[in-house]
C-alpha cells in the first residue's frame, strides 16, 4: 500500500500523565441515588424518608487546567418522600432541588418541599421544611466532597517543577538530547516506513494561520519547545533539544526538524517536515507570539510545503497542535 499522507494519532488518553478531563456524570448519578435514598428525619410529628429519585438531570466533569483541578457539575433533582405521623397516618410529598451546581455553596441550594396535591395538610410538612431541608443540604454537600476526594488523584498534569523532577538525567541519541520521561507507548502508525522518494522541491506552496490561546506568551512559548509538554499534548514520546540549532522528533519520528531561531516568549523559527515528504525536504515554519494580557495571539507562517500537501499540513497544525494544546492544557 502506497503512502498518501501522514496518519495522525487520535486524540485519546494513553496514560494517566495526560488525563485532563473526565466525565463523572454516571458516577455522580449513582452516588446521589445512594446518598439521598438513605435519608430519614424524625421528630415528634413522626418519621419521613425518601422513597424515589424521580428526576435527576444534569452532568458532572473534572478538568485540568495548568496543573489545577476544576470541578463542573449542574443538577436538577425531584425526589419523592413518604411520611408517617405519630398516629400511623401516611403522607406523600415531593422535594425539588433546582440549582445543585459548582456555582452554589451548600447553604445556597434552593430546596422546595411540598405535599402531593391530594394530600391534606400535616405537621410532617413542617418537619421536612426544617429538619428535612437541613439534612438534604448536608447530604448534597457530602456528594460534592466525595466527588473531589474520589477523583482528585491522577488528574494533575505536570507543572514545570514536577516535569523537572519527573525527568531523569539527559542523554544524547542521534544528535538530539532526550530526557527519559516515561510515556505510555503510542499506537502503531499504519503508514509505511519505507524511505520517501525524492521530488521536485520547486513545486511548493505556503499557508498562514492565526490562533488565540487563553494563556500568556511565556506559557505558550514553553509549550512549543519543551520536550515534556510536547509529550503531553501529542500523547506520545518526543525528542526535543530546545535550543537554537537543536533538533526535534515527534510522533515516532513522523514529524522532525530543527529550531533555527528562538526568541523567548516572542518567536520560534524552525525547519519542519513530515516523514512522508520527499527525502530531506523541510518547510520553513515561523511562530510569532503576541501577548495581549488576557490571551496570546499566535501567527503561523508555513513556507515550502510540497505541492498537494497544503491541506493536510494545515489541518494537522490546527487539529494536532492548536486544538490538542487547548484541550490538554485548557489554554
Using one digit for the tens of pLDDT, what is the confidence trace for 252-265?
Answer: 788 999 999 999 99
Within a domain: 11: no
Is there a single domain that holds both residue 294 and residue 166?
yes
Domain span including residue 104 = 21-151
Q: In Å, how far from its chain's centre is CA 36?
A: 30
Q: Which of 97-106, 208-217, 279-288 has the lowest mean pLDDT?
A: 97-106
Is there a single domain that holds both residue 110 and residue 165?
no
Is there a single domain that holds both residue 28 and residue 54?
yes
Q: Which of 4-8, 119-123, 143-147, 281-285 has the lowest mean pLDDT?
A: 4-8
Within a domain: 13: no
Q: Which residue has the cell 445512594?
A: 34
Is there a single domain that holds both residue 305 and residue 174?
yes
Within a domain: 4: no
Within a domain: 1: no
CATH code assigned at 38: 3.15.10.20
Within a domain: 295: yes
Task: Find, among 325, 230, 328, the residue nearest to 20 by Cα.
Answer: 328
Domain-terminating residue out of 151, 183, 218 = 151
Handedness of CA 126, 131, 137, 139 (dihedral sign): negative
Tell me what pLDDT residue 138 has.
92
The answer to whether residues 170 and 177 touch, using CB atoms and an 8 Å cutoff, is yes
Q: What phi, psi does 283 have (nearest 5°)?
A: -90, 160
Number of domains in the chain: 2
Task: Find, among 279, 273, 282, 286, the residue nearest to 316 by Cα.
Answer: 273
Q: Residue 135: which pLDDT band, with cuts at 50, 70 and 90?
A: very high
Within a domain: 16: no
Task: Dig out the grid coordinates for 307 from the structure.
Answer: 505541492
Interior angle at CA 237, CA 232 and CA 242, nearest 5: 80
Q: What phi, psi does 315 have (nearest 5°)?
A: -65, -35
Within a domain: 269: yes
pLDDT for 266 beyond 80? yes
Q: Residue 118: which pLDDT band, with cuts at 50, 70 and 90?
A: confident
pLDDT for 207 beyond 70? yes
Domain-terminating residue out of 118, 151, 184 = 151
Task: Dig out the grid coordinates for 292 from the structure.
Answer: 495581549
Is there a single domain that holds both residue 207 and residue 324?
yes
Amino acid at each position: 500500500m502506497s503512502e498518501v499522507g501522514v496518519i495522525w494519532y487520535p486524540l485519546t488518553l494513553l496514560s494517566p500523565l495526560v488525563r485532563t478531563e473526565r466525565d463523572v456524570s454516571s458516577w455522580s448519578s449513582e452516588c446521589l441515588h445512594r446518598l439521598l435514598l438513605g435519608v430519614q428525619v424524625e421528630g415528634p410529628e413522626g418519621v419521613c424518608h425518601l422513597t424515589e429519585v424521580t428526576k435527576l438531570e444534569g452532568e458532572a466533569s473534572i478538568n485540568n487546567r495548568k496543573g489545577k483541578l476544576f470541578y463542573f457539575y449542574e443538577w436538577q433533582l425531584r425526589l419523592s418522600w413518604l411520611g408517617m405521623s405519630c398516629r400511623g397516618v401516611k403522607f406523600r410529598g415531593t422535594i425539588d432541588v433546582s440549582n445543585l451546581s459548582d456555582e452554589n455553596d451548600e447553604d445556597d441550594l434552593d430546596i422546595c418541599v411540598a405535599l402531593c396535591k391530594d394530600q391534606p395538610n400535616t405537621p410532617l410538612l413542617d418537619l421536612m421544611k426544617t429538619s428535612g431541608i437541613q439534612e438534604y443540604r448536608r447530604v448534597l454537600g457530602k456528594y460534592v466532597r466525595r466527588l473531589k476526594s474520589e477523583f482528585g488523584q491522577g488528574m494533575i498534569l505536570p507543572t514545570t517543577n514536577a516535569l523537572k523532577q519527573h525527568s531523569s538525567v539527559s542523554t544524547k541519541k542521534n544528535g538530539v538530547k532526550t530526557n527519559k520521561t516515561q510515556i505510555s507507548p503510542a499506537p502503531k502508525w499504519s503508514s509505511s516506513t519505507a524511505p520517501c522518494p525524492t521530488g521536485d522541491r520547486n513545486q511548493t506552496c505556503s499557508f498562514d494561520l492565526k490562533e488565540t490561546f487563553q494563556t500568556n506568551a511565556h506559557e505558550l512559548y514553553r509549550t512549543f519547545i519543551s520536550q515534556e509538554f510536547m509529550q503531553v499534548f501529542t500523547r506520545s514520546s518526543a525528542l526535543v533539544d530546545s535550543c537554537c540549532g537543536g533538533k526535534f522528533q515527534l510522533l515516532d519520528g513522523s514529524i522532525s526538524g530543527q529550531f533555527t531561531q528562538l526568541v523567548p516568549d516572542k518567536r520560534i523559527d524552525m525547519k519542519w517536515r513530515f516523514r512522508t515528504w520527499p527525502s530531506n525536504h523541510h518547510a520553513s515554519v515561523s511562530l510569532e507570539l503576541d501577548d495581549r494580557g488576557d490571551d496570546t495571539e499566535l501567527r503561523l507562517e508555513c513556507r515550502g510545503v510540497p505541492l498537494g500537501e497544503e491541506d493536510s499540513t494545515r489541518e494537522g497544525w490546527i487539529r494536532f497542535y492548536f486544538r490538542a494544546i487547548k484541550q490538554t492544557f485548557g489554554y
